[in-house]
Structure 1
Amino acid sequence: MERFLENAMYAARWLLAPIYFGLSLGLLALALKFFQEIVHILPNIFVLAEADLILVLLSLIDMALVGGLLVMVMISGYENFVSQLDIDDSKEKLNWLGKMDSSSLKMKVAASIVAISSIHLLRVFMDARSYEPTYLKWYVIIHMTFVASAFAMGYLDKLTKHD
């Protein structure tokens, strides 16, 4: 009975595979939205104010960072929790493939969240006149919470490594 339960729990990791595949569909949706923004901005490029163009570009950078985060979580999560990827040696491989454990993945996710939050905060500051000071304060507090959380995670990770 114990062996059956252990085998069933081990096989249950495959329930994560459709979730990681679902992230690839999320990546497709993000790519479509990215190019939709490009199509919207190109006809108006010469009439847009510089600040408005920068805000749109920051939004595109945000999408690119989220896309990279999705790829990292999708591939590393699959490799860490489901199965190793069997990629032919003749194909191009990502240099971090097979090297990112769940701890380093968490750190990459935390760093990405801080970067995304930083870009969002910059967008808010560029348009600060349209926000009430209370909202600006809360944006900064939330961003600093992300920064402090990422720093604490990194520090705890460093303390627990016994290399």
Structure 2
Amino acid sequence: MTEIDQRVPAPVQPPFRSFTGVIGSAIFVSRWLQAPLYLGLIVAQAVYVVVFWKELIHLAKDFNHLDEASVMLIVLGLVDVVMIANLLIMVIIGGYETFVSRIRMDTHPDKPEWLSHVNPNVLKVKLAMSIIGISSIHLLKSFINAENLSPETLKWQTIIHMAFIASAIGLAYVDWISARVAAINNH
């Protein structure tokens, strides 16, 4: 017998297995459809950089003509833009890393600390906390500018803010329970 004749023939795959393999591969590859979404968020972040600089230039040019409350409102607006930019970074990097592909920044000196242990639950809690921070800034701006807003508006902004806080507490609790169950199952 020749060497070719002595080889074991490859097992024949039933047609349904190759079909399910193609479907599974297509589903797995479909995660790359999210990549343009993350690139779009990078564009949105660039827009926020422009908004930030426009507001900062406005503050620098007109600070002699602004009262303390107006300066505070502009500064809170700047903080708000920064917090939204931070939220975008968490969504872009964390979402891409979690749902699309590894970024492979393990040896990079500027690797964000939170990226080493990011998973969907951690990302949800971090996003919820960022949303609470952003909502807090908006609520503070509203209270500073209360004389120009109706009591009904302030009431609903406060209720919505409290709903964000309750949601974040619920997410953190679910994450805590999940971690406890995982720890019990690993022992």
Superposed pair shares fold, TM > 0.5: yes
- Structure 2 unaligned residues grouped into runs of 5+: 1-18
CA gap 1:132/1:88 in 2 versus in 1, 3 angstroms? closer
Q: TM-score, normalised by structure 1?
A: 0.95
Match of 1:79 in 2: 97
CA RMSD between the two structures: 1.3
C-alpha contact 1:76 1:98 (8 A) present in aligned 2: no
C-alpha contact 1:23 1:70 (8 A) present in aligned 2: yes
Match of 2:80 among 59, 62, 65: 62
Q: CA deviation at 1:96?
A: 2.2
* Identity %, equivalent residues: 39
The answer to whether structure 1 residue 21 and structure 2 residue 39 are counterparts is: yes
Question: Distance in 2 between the 1:83 and 1:154 partners?
Answer: 25
- Structure 1 unaligned residues grouped into runs of 5+: none
Match of 1:51 among 69, 74, 79: 69
Match of 1:138 among 122, 147, 156: 156
More RCO (CA 8 Å, sep 6+)? 1
Question: Distance in 2 between the 1:90 and 1:69 partners?
Answer: 21
Match of 1:123 in 2: 141
Match of 2:49 among 24, 27, 31: 31
Counterpart of 2:24, as a letter, is E
Q: How many residues align?
A: 163
Question: Distance in 2 between the 1:22 and 1:132 partners?
Answer: 36
CA gap 1:88/1:110 in 2 versus in 1, 3 angstroms? closer
Question: Distance in 2 between the 1:155 and 1:30 partners?
Answer: 32
Q: TM-score, normalised by structure 2?
A: 0.83
Whose radius of gyration is greater, 1 or 2? Answer: 2
